[in-house]
Structures are given as C-alpha cells and as structure tokens.
Structure 1
Amino acid sequence: MKKFIFCIGCCVLVISAASAQVYITRTGVIQFFSKTPLEDIKAENKQVYAAVDLSGKTMAFSMLMKSFLFRKELMQEHFNENYVESDRYPKAIFKGTFTGDVDPQKPQVYPIQVQGVITLHGVEKSINTPATLEITAEGLTGTARFSLLPQDFAITIPGIVRDKIARQIDVQVKVDCKPVK
C-alpha cells in the first residue's frame, strides 16, 4: 500500500512538473516600426496571445490585426483597410519550434533560435530568428526582433505613399508568460 501511495505521489509530481513547462499570456506585446526620411510609423499591439511549451520546444502566437494602435488615427485606418485588410484577414498567427536548452528550474536568460511559420494577410512565410527566453520567479519572458517585407505577404503599398513606408518592417516581440497550473 505504501508503494502504491508513493507511486501515485511520484506521478502527481511528474505531471505537475510537466505542466509547469507550459507558459501562456494574453497580454503579449508586438510592435512594428517603419522608418523612412519622410515619415516614421510605429504601431503596438498589447493583446497578443502566446503559449510556450518548454518540454516540447514549441510556441504559438495569435493576435487580432485591428488591435494595433498607431500614433495617428488615419495611419491605423489605412493599415486596417488598405494594407492588411483586417476585416478579410483578421488574425496574424505564428507557430514554431525553438532550439536551445531552457531549464525552467534555473532562472536566467537563455538564447534560442526560433523557426516557424507566420501567417499574415492570408500568406504563410517561414521565419528563422534568434530570440531569448528568460526564466524568472514569476514565469517566462520571451523576446525577439526580426524584419518582414510587406510584399512577402502580398501587401501592396500604393505608389503615392511608397516613399513613406519602409520596404522592410522591423518587428519586436515581448511576452511575459505565466506557468499553466
């Protein structure tokens, strides 16, 4: 009987430890920047859903395109109506894996390499970028920086504003995730 109770206790500990390796948030932040001599454009989305599974070395992100906020209301309107067509393509999604060892029991910053597929404007594109995962007492913080080309996602920039929008858009990602209990 004692062995049975011990085995059940071990199973509960193993299951608890495994679930502690999954981290989620609903308040991740993705920013993008477009810098040209004529105009700088910055937008921020603070409603990014993210899940990171350390044991499976997988991650997924999802966000509504209409949740990007711009400095100028007209920029936001043009972004949603003319460029990303957020009524037709409401979400952007990333699904991927990462390489690098991350110990959830050892708080520190871990460099990783992320590889996966971004779906934006109805187009899928592979991405491979360096990132970091920081284990803290509260959970996990993930950060990454990379660039995207609008034409890779069939986003057309009209000639009249082409000089105001960078050919390459810089993207920053920051997610503060809590362990799933």
Structure 2
Amino acid sequence: MKNFIKLIIITCLTSSTTFGQLFSTQSGETSFFSETPVENISGVNKTVGAILNTSTKEIAVSMKMTAFDFPNKLMQEHFNENYIESDKFPTGLFKGKIVEDIDLTKNGTYDVTAKGQLTLHGITQAREIKGKLTVDNQKITLTSNFDVKLVDHKIDVPKLVFSKIAEVIAVKSKYIFSPYVKK
C-alpha cells in the first residue's frame, strides 16, 4: 500500500519533469489537536510521505490514518474505528500547487500558499493552506498550521461524546524534504 501511494504521487508530479527537481520525505510529521472544556485530544503521525516538485511547485502529501499515535490506546481506537473509520478510509491526502511566484531553487524563507484538494474520511474538499517554506541548499523545510472542520469531511461525532471533541480541529505539519532518489 505504501509503495502504491508513493507511485501515484510520483506519477502525478513527474509527468513533465526530471527527478532532479523532486524533493521528498517519508518521515514528515502531521499532528492535530482538539480542545474542549471536557477533554483535549491530540495525535501525531511521524511517517507522512510527501513530495515537492521545485520546478512546477506541485506538492503531494499522503498519510496512513492508523499511523497517528495518541496519549492513550482508547483515544487511538476511537479515532480509527468511530471517527476516521480507517478501515474504510485508510489514507489522508493533499495534492496541490504553491501559488506564489518564487524560485524554490534559491535559498531563503518564503510565505507560501498551496491551493489544492484535501481528502479525509473519503471526502475531498478544495483548500488553500498557508505555510512557511525554507530552502537551505539541498534541504527544504515546509511548515503549516490550518484548521479542519469535521462537518466538511462528514466525520460524525456521536451526541454522547460531542462535548469531548471540537468541531474544528487544529492541524500542524512539518516536512523536511531532501532530493528524491529513484530506488
């Protein structure tokens, strides 16, 4: 499955480019936080795959939903079985393009916006995600903070526990890219 997702991402981003313009990571980090007066819920996934084409400024991110770690097993179980339904919807995806006219081959720090499609829980939504991208020789770091409304992705929360889960989830991402090496 992991190799299949990687193949799809690479195919999408390499249609008119060479591998020398691709940067990737398999150890990106995405975390989320749900804050309510009753309970805070957090999860982190440190095995996020992402690829960035510095020529076309296209980006694709793929994460296995069961790879999120939680402070306790019960939270993880509820996340996967009751809310995200990881057995039906095993992967979260973002595919988009950085809209700013910047040269990603030049060192510097840039405020960026990626316009694209976010797919969670089997529902795809158009999104504009703002972030900060730092180019330092052959290393590119991308960070972003954005919100996800549960209703936008038809993630249902039972009324019994509705007060324990926020309607809007704060998401943070950090990806450190290095030049893609074809294996």
Q: For residues 57-116 of structure 1, what are the alpha-carbon distances to aligned partners after superposition, in whole Å with 9 as ceiling and x for unaligned?
A: 100000100000000110000000000110111101110011224434432111111111
User: Could you tell me which residue of structure 1 aligns to residue 59 of structure 2?
Assistant: 59
Query: Aligned equivalents of 2:42 and 2:138: distance in 1?
Result: 30
- Is 1:154 the counterpart of 2:163? The answer is no
Aligned residues: 165
User: Could you tell me which residue of structure 2 aligns to residue 49 of structure 1?
Assistant: 49
- Overall identity of the aligned pairs, in %: 38
More divergent stretch after superposition (163-172 vs 101-110): 101-110
AA matched with 1:140: I
Query: Aligned equivalents of 1:54 and 1:138: distance in 2?
Result: 11
User: Could you tell me which residue of structure 1 aligns to residue 116 of structure 2?
Assistant: 116
* Unmatched runs of 5 consecutive residues or more in structure 2: 1-17
SS of 1:140's partner is strand
Cα drift, residue 178 of structure 1: 0.3
Please give the root-mean-square deviation of Cα atoms over the aligned residues, in Å.
1.5
Q: For residues 117-175 of structure 1, what are the alpha-carbon distances to aligned partners after superposition, in whole Å with 9 as ceiling and x for unaligned?
A: 01111110111121111101341001111100111111100111111111100000110
Output the TM-score relative to the length of structure 1: 0.86
AA matched with 1:172: K
- Is 1:39 the counterpart of 2:11? The answer is no
Query: Aligned equivalents of 1:20 and 1:100: distance in 2?
Result: 21
- Is 1:134 the counterpart of 2:137? The answer is no
Query: Aligned equivalents of 2:49 and 2:62: distance in 1?
Result: 5
Residues 105 and 92 of structure 1: CA distance in aligned 2, closer, same or farther (over 3 Å): closer
Q: If you compute each CA radius of gyration, which structure gives the higher value, 1 or 2?
A: 1
Query: Aligned equivalents of 1:140 and 1:81: distance in 2?
Result: 35
Query: Aligned equivalents of 1:54 and 1:83: distance in 2?
Result: 35
Equivalent residues in 2 for 1:6-17, closer than 5 Å: none
Output the TM-score relative to the length of structure 2: 0.85
Query: Aligned equivalents of 2:19 and 2:132: distance in 1?
Result: 21
AA matched with 1:108: G
Cα drift, residue 39 of structure 1: 0.8
Give yes or no for contact 2:54–2:105 (8 Å, CA) kept in 1. Answer: no
